[in-house]
Structure 1
Amino acid sequence: MSDIDSIKSRISKNVRPISAYSVPRIDCSVKLDGNESPYDLEEEEQIALSERLAKLPVNRYPDPEALEVRTSLSRVVGFPVDGILLGNGSDEIIQMIVEVLGGKSGRVLVPSPTFSMYRITSLILGKQVTEVELDEAFDIDLEQTLEAIRTQDPDIVFLATPNNPTGNSFSEEKVLEILEASGGAVVVDEAYCDFSKKSYVPHIDKYENLLVLRTMSKIGFAGARLGIFFARPQIADEVNKARLPYNINSFSQDVMSFALENPEVIERKISLILSERERVRTSLERIEGIHVYPTDANFFLVRVSDADFLFEELVKNDILVRRFKGEGRLANCLRITVGTREENDQLIQVLVSVFSS
């Protein structure tokens, strides 16, 4: 029998230096760290969904193609069903894209800072990752990005807009220039497009190399783990080869069908978040000592003189936000999700108290 050292010696060299994606487990009743919707379903909506889920035959596999859900989504978005794929969260789709489309130069280009899973997934799969720093306004540094595309010919460029964790949307002109210049796939991750009201899906008609990602996680259905992929059908067919069998369980498929059939459930809560976002922005900007960056998402990136101190003060007051410990451009930054009105009031009250003392 092999010992643990023998097993560990067989771990891929791509994996050894990487830390797993992790979310700190800190119990606070006001949870403003995950960019989720703060609003659960109303009681009558919960009852309707529960009755629907109770009818599912849990002894049977789910629809392997999630065809009913994809067809409904096709009607809602106005996009061909054969160009739509679903994933167990966008993370699974990111993995599928890198597995399938990263096979020529073996290089992946990402801005920095951005969503960490583009880099982590690419490294685990043995790709070389080039990170290009965003400019002072956290927008794309177009000159450096185009130079990296010209010299390195990346198989994939990942662009999250609005960007996580900065919150701002990238310049559309710059994104389109990257699409024109890139010989590989350009993946626009618009996880927060419901709050920016901007989408690149219509541009797929013009750009064959454009792939677009969306998610249900930011608009009230994070627990269902549903990511959405849009691309030309020829590209979707290839990426679909890396999709694991029955990757979307029956419960998640039914939850998504429920959401698509009841769009008012989503729209009402998006409107509440957008209203609260503006109210919170105004309150934060009035507090001396907090720099608030522009946002098109459901969260704020803020900079303070001592983020660790403020993080701990918030935790003491039962409020959890996201901190970035010693992370370059994000040093002394916190990311704060827009909560309910009551949660936001509690946040502002604590912040005013801390910065006035």
Structure 2
Amino acid sequence: MIARIPEKLQSKEPYTPVTAGYSIRLDANESPYNVSAELREDMKRALDDIDFNRYPDPLAADLCKAFARAYGIRSSYVTAGNGSDELIGLILSSFLEKGEGVTVALPDFSMYAFYASLSEEKLHVFKRDGAPTLDGLRAFVRETGSAAVIFSNPCNPTGQGYDRKSVLQFVLSADALCIIDEAYMDFWDQSILADAPWLENAFVLRTLSKVFGAAALRLGFAVANAKLTAALRTAKSPYNVNAVSQAFGKLLLERRDADRSAELAGAARRLRKALLPYFPGISETVTNFVYIETPQASAVAAYLASRGIAVRLFPNALRITAGSSAENDALLAALRDYFAK
């Protein structure tokens, strides 16, 4: 018998991030800085305490406690995942029935729609169109009768964000499960993470991939009330976070010396200012990247690639991560040459 590939997979294109060939990577919103040499030594010592012949702690209890202490919440409300992606896919597949509606916003993280469609849920797409408030999204969720809504705050890829009060009002007024992805909130101060334990209908997601410079560990966290947390822990795989990531993530959260949020956010603001002569009208950013809407996006991205610089290309737009000072200088030098042609 020949295995049948279902239509929901046949119609999908695999996510294909840049993997090699660039000396400067400004495409994935990663930190340009590796963890410190001192922390790396602590990580090496932590390996001696790992029983590699045993499965890891199924609830990643020590890791969740470290996360909870770092963010001022109780660990009983925290679920660890193999990156936020695992948690997004798990929530969408486990908390909704087949055919129920899910609202996503555009532009936003493309994997939201991917996971929703893979779970055979009805996808409703709300076009942001630069809307400064959540009023339009609130009305759209109500009109479509969506069972869930998911969006990033601050927004990936625009770099803009909704303030805490607005997001809380949205969640409290929504007759739907609200999944708020705060992957970039470490660069801003409008989080609802501390509110998640008392909200009846919300998951708030975080990651160690950005500020903490630990994308290689694939560590994400979901924070929610006790009922939602218990259900999510029931749905997840028993040993979803490996022992090495648990140990290293705990060290990162306890040490916080890898937290360069202020430095990277400042670098993004300076980068935006330096890019304005080439791309007037770039919006303010509250993240570690800038978003540029331009009809020249494809041509600019191709030229930067020829100079060994990777940026993220969208239809008529670019997203550029703030790198190190040297990387940002190289980017600006390349753009000067491009526009001097």
Post-superposition CA distance 1:54-107 (Å, at most 9, x none): 432211111111111112222222222221101100011011111221128611
Post-superposition CA distance 1:230-251 (Å, at most 9, x none): 0001111111122112100011
- Do structure 1's residue 126 and structure 2's residue 116 form an aligned pair? no
1:317 to 299, 307, 325: 307
Gaps of 5+ in 1: 325-330
- What TM-score do you get using the length of structure 1 for normalisation? 0.90
2:31 to 32, 37, 51: 37
2:288 to 285, 288, 298: 298
TM alignment of 1:18-167, pairs within 5 A: 18-103=12-97, 106-135=100-129, 137-140=130-133, 142-143=135-136, 145-167=137-159
- Deviation of residue 159 (structure 1)? 1.8
CA distance in 1, matches of 2:335, 2:166: 36
- Do structure 1's residue 228 and structure 2's residue 221 form an aligned pair? yes
Question: 4+ residue stretches of structure 1 with deviation over 6 A?
Answer: none
CA distance in 2, matches of 1:28, 1:82: 42
Kindly, what percent of the aligned residue pairs are identical?
A: 30
Q: 8 Å contact 1:290–1:304 — kept in the other structure?
A: no
Give the stretch that moved more between structures: 149-158 or 82-91: 149-158
- Deviation of residue 16 (structure 1)? 2.3
Q: Residue in 1 aligned with 2:316?
A: 332
CA distance in 2, matches of 1:274, 1:183: 34
State how many pairs are aligned.
340
Q: 8 Å contact 1:299–1:336 — kept in the other structure?
A: yes
Task: Letter of the 1:215 partner, please give it.
Answer: T
Q: 8 Å contact 2:58–2:239 — kept in the other structure?
A: yes
1:170 to 162, 168, 176: 162
CA distance in 1, matches of 2:337, 2:281: 17
Report the 3-state secondary structure (helix = DSSP H, G, I; strand = E; otherwise coil) of the residue aligned with 1:300.
strand
Give the stretch that moved more between structures: 212-221 or 45-54: 45-54
Q: Residue in 2 aligned with 1:195?
A: 187
Task: Letter of the 2:36 partner, please give it.
Answer: E
Post-superposition CA distance 1:190-236 (Å, at most 9, x none): 00011112211133255311210000011200000000000001111
Gaps of 5+ in 2: none
- Deviation of residue 313 (structure 1)? 1.1
Task: Letter of the 2:93 partner, please give it.
Answer: E
Task: Letter of the 1:316 partner, please give it.
Answer: S
CA distance in 1, matches of 2:19, 2:39: 29
Report the 3-state secondary structure (helix = DSSP H, G, I; strand = E; otherwise coil) of the residue aligned with 1:14.
helix
Instruction: Supply the RMSD in Å over aligned alpha carbons.
Output: 1.9
Q: Residue in 2 aligned with 1:284?
A: 275
CA distance in 2, matches of 1:55, 1:46: 15
Taking a change above 3 Å as real, the CA distance of residues 151 and 281 of structure 1, as seen in their structure-2 partners, is closer
CA distance in 1, matches of 2:266, 2:173: 38
Taking a change above 3 Å as real, the CA distance of residues 314 and 291 of structure 1, as seen in their structure-2 partners, is farther
- Deviation of residue 140 (structure 1)? 4.9
CA distance in 2, matches of 1:300, 1:345: 15
TM alignment of 1:233-272, pairs within 5 A: 233-263=226-256, 265-267=257-259, 269-272=260-263
Post-superposition CA distance 1:249-276 (Å, at most 9, x none): 011001111112211x123x22321232
